[in-house]
Amino acid sequence: MEIKKLKSFLFKETSSAPLIVFRIAFGVMMFLSLVRFAANGWIDSLYVQPKFFFTYYGFEWIKPLNATGMYIVFGLMMLAALFLAAGFLYRFSALIFFLLFTYVELLDKTNYLNHYYFISIISLLMCLLPATKKTVPRWAILTLQLQMAIVYFFAGIAKVNADWLLNAMPLKIWLPTRTDTPFGFLLDETIVAYLFSWCGMLFDISIAFFLFNRRTVWYAYGVVVIFHVLTATLFPGIGMFPFIMIVCATIFLPAQFHERILRAFKFNPQSQIRNPQSPSISTFQYLLVSVLAIHFIIQFTLPFRYALYHNRLFYTEQGYRFSWRVMLMEKAGLVFFHVKDKNGKLHEINNHDFLTDQQEKQMSTQPDMILQFAQFLKNNFQTDEVYAEAYVTVNGKGSNLFFDPKINLANVKDDFSDKKWILAQAER
């Protein structure tokens, strides 16, 4: 009985307008983001200039192409984004976009951003959704809604920690530096940092529930817009993320709204559902839904994997990525590497000889990247001893040794086992 209910709920044919608007908006948004990316010279600075790349564990075989190759990859990605928006070769374009985008993201950890991960997931999901049909089963729209909800919800529970809620960190550091923005005169009030911390946490945790509720969806969407415009104003460094979320959250709005939009643009969506019961469900559909179910089980589990490690998350960053921990801490670091030469003498390495500014900055706060660079130095200098004197500060606590500088990093492999050698600064 319950299964039957669930089945009729998931497979009920509904208007595809929300999905079509989403597809068009997402495609256009991706195209514009890529144009911006290229115009800023980032293809060159992030994927052509670096001599060394911080690959992901298990994806060491993913290598960058030469300059021409990288530009072609981005060109094809832009084309796929436009095709996606136009609904031309839709599933194929979505797949190509997903593969190319994910390929680029896997090249270098340095450039990991939660919203790039989000784009990879959304484009993968879109390969599976029938986003050109006149009507779609409800699960198709629910999939995108659920994915959005996961982003907000996990970003919210990540904020439930002592630093965020009790010390208003890192907002207490970030907000006073933004006194030149609108509302700026308020931003160096400590109470405002607390207000923003708590409101941000409550917003992230609760907003999806209000978006799912038909009676509150429009108010909730208004809050979404206010929230993201505020973050975009205060933190221009986060780039396209707020705008992508504002656009993607339209998936929660009622279908009539999307139909009106489509009509305004002379599209002719089918709003009359001829057969609401939709009796025949293909095996292919069942397969798709099963795949999606697995996807969401992973999505709900992955952010909790940090619990398998020591709870010094902000220092070790074990289980930090792919968990929607967005703008959660103020972390800065500096690492001095030393390698031993054949005569047994230690030499300090000039990191800049091998890394770009961006790579050095990201590496200096993330232990797995420090290990990767140490292994690179080991091979590069044919040495058995590599040491790092690393200093790090989290949420303004003050710089401290990240780990014992006497540890020979040439012997430490980077894997998923607990990095117990990271010093317990956080427990002070």
Partner 1 sequence: MLKYIYAAAALLILLNGCKPKDGGDKFDRAGMLTNLGNNIILPAHQQFNNSAAALKTMKDSFTGNPSSVTLDSLKAAFLSAYTAYMKVEAYSFTASGETRNLNVFVTDTTQINTNISTGTYNLSAANNIQAKGFPAIDYLLFSRSSNEIVNLFTTDVNAAKRIQYLNDITNEIETVSASASTEWNNSLSQFIGASGTDIGSSVGMLVNDLSFESERCRRERVGNSLGYIGFISSGNVDAHFLEAYHSAFSKELLAANLRELKKLYEGGTGNGFDDYLVYLNAEYNGQPLAPAISNQFDLVIQKAEIIPVDYATALTTKRPDMESLFLELKKLTVMLKVDMSSQLGVIINYSDNDGD
Footprint of partner 1 on this chain (CB under 8 A)?
A: 40-42, 45-46, 111, 113-115, 173-174, 176-180, 182-183, 185-186, 188, 195, 199, 203, 206, 210, 216, 219-220, 222-223, 226, 236-241, 326-327, 330-334, 336, 341, 343, 345, 347-350, 353, 356-358, 360-361, 381, 391-393, 396-400
Instruction: Please state the closest distance from residue 147 (CB atom) to partner 1, in A.
Output: 17
* Contacting residues for 287 by C-beta, under 8 A, at least 6 apart: none
Q: Which is nearer to partner 1, 11 or 227 (CB)?
A: 227
Q: Which is nearer to partner 1, 279 or 344 (CB)?
A: 344
Q: How far apart are CA 331 and CA 339, in angstroms?
A: 26
Q: Which is nearer to partner 1, 79 or 223 (CB)?
A: 223
Instruction: Please state the closest distance from residue 85 (CB atom) to partner 1, in A.
Output: 22
**Residue 205: what residue type?**
I
Instruction: Please state the closest distance from residue 30 (CB atom) to partner 1, in A.
Output: 14
Q: Which is nearer to partner 1, 19 or 192 (CB)?
A: 192
Q: Which is nearer to partner 1, 283 or 343 (CB)?
A: 343
Instruction: Please state the closest distance from residue 354 (CB atom) to partner 1, in A.
Output: 11
> C-alpha distances in angstroms, 299 versus 142, 146, 239, 292?
15, 10, 24, 10
Instruction: Please state the closest distance from residue 101 (CB atom) to partner 1, in A.
Output: 15
Instruction: Please state the closest distance from residue 49 (CB atom) to partner 1, in A.
Output: 10
Instruction: Please state the closest distance from residue 266 (CB atom) to partner 1, in A.
Output: 35
Q: Which is nearer to partner 1, 95 or 173 (CB)?
A: 173
Q: Which is nearer to partner 1, 21 or 392 (CB)?
A: 392
Q: Which is nearer to partner 1, 10 or 48 (CB)?
A: 48
CB 65 within 8 A of CB 77: no
Instruction: Please state the closest distance from residue 166 (CB atom) to partner 1, in A.
Output: 16
Q: How far apart are CA 41 and CA 234, in angstroms?
A: 24
